[in-house]
């Protein structure tokens, strides 16, 4: 528990208001809620396992505490503790998926999309102090992110060359799905640059919609391009958040699934995105 309060708790969101809350309230709640107690220990143990990969005991402990948390969850009565547990399970799942195989990115996106929409449209926490980490308490207003303005080409066939399959966008439902997911990415990218790293990682799969989920699982090229940018965002997060530091492997895997035309398109704009990320001044953990 000491490792969680002293180190792990500061690795979820770097926004200064989140850090003192995460290192105090969850541990306090855990003493009366065994599912949260084990979820905290599972996440701290997984973190230690990433820090000390030659010591397998940490991953064993992480798995054992996760199982204990799952077993105790049906008896959960405190909504704050319950949703904190769900959040910790999510971090655990993201980290485990990234570290095991890049191919897991597709079931991970589907899993996050399917789980969290049940909370969409309402606040998860009753305790107002926890509002700062509630992924659904943020503004979903779409503002153009200047370094990513070219992503509008994903859904605007008038802006693309004929070699990049503009005929796919003739279907208005597909065009709308791509527009929705690009605009959702603008929302989460802004969060990732302002200290809400966990929110940004979780919200995009929630917001991108069922149609895009299906297009992604079909490995449509446009869908893969937006996923590539999302993983690029997580790669930047991974420089300060241990649970996302394997995102680069997934991004490289997704890049390998792109055809020659879309690879060229990505490379054409990659430098702009990297320069924007380099200019970030967020804290590092």
The percent helix, strand, coil of the chain (3-state, each to 5) is 75, 0, 25
Q: What is the pLDDT of residue 276?
A: 42
Sign of CA dihedral 252, 254, 255, 256: positive
Cβ atoms of residues 68 and 31 within 8 Å: no
Q: What's the predicted TM-score (pTM) here?
A: 0.88
CA distance 145 to 88: 29
Q: What is the pLDDT of residue 275?
A: 41
- Comparing CA positions, the residue from 65, 77, 89, 97 lying closest to residue 29 is 77
- Comparing CA positions, the residue from 19, 39, 140 lying closest to residue 80 is 39
118-158, pLDDT tens digit by residue?
Answer: 555 555 667 778 777 777 666 556 665 667 888 988 988 66
63-82, pLDDT tens digit by residue?
Answer: 999 999 999 988 888 988 98
Q: What is the pLDDT of residue 184?
A: 92
CA distance 227 to 235: 12
For the chain, residues with pLDDT lower than 50 are 272-273, 275-285
């Amino acid at each position: 528990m000491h490792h969680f309060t002293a180190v792990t708790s500061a690795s979820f969101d770097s926004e200064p208001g989140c850090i003192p809350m995460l290192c105090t309230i969850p541990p306090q709640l855990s003493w009366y809620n065994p599912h949260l107690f084990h979820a905290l220990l599972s996440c701290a143990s997984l973190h230690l396992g990433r820090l000390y990969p030659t010591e397998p005991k940490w991953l064993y402990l992480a798995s054992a505490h996760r199982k204990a948390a799952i077993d105790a969850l049906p008896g959960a009565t405190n909504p704050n503790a319950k949703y904190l547990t769900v959040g910790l399970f999510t971090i655990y799942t993201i980290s485990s998926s990234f570290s095991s195989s890049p191919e897991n990115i597709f079931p991970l996106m589907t899993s996050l999309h399917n789980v969290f929409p049940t909370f969409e449209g309402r606040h998860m926490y009753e305790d107002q102090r926890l509002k700062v980490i509630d992924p659904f308490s943020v503004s979903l207003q779409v503002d153009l992110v200047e370094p990513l303005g070219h992503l509008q080409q994903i859904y605007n066939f008038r802006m693309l060359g004929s070699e990049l399959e503009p005929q796919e966008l003739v279907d208005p439902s597909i065009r709308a799905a791509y527009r929705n997911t690009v605009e959702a990415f603008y929302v989460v990218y802004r969060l990732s640059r302002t200290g809400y790293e966990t929110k940004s990682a979780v919200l995009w799969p929630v917001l991108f919609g069922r149609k895009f989920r299906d297009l992604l699982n079909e490995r449509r090229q446009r869908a893969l391009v937006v996923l590539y940018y999302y993983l690029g965002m997580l790669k930047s997060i991974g420089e300060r958040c241990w649970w996302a530091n394997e995102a680069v492997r997934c991004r490289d895997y997704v890049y390998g699934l792109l055809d020659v035309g879309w690879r060229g398109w990505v490379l054409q704009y990659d430098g702009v995105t990297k320069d924007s990320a380099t200019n970030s001044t967020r804290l590092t953990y």
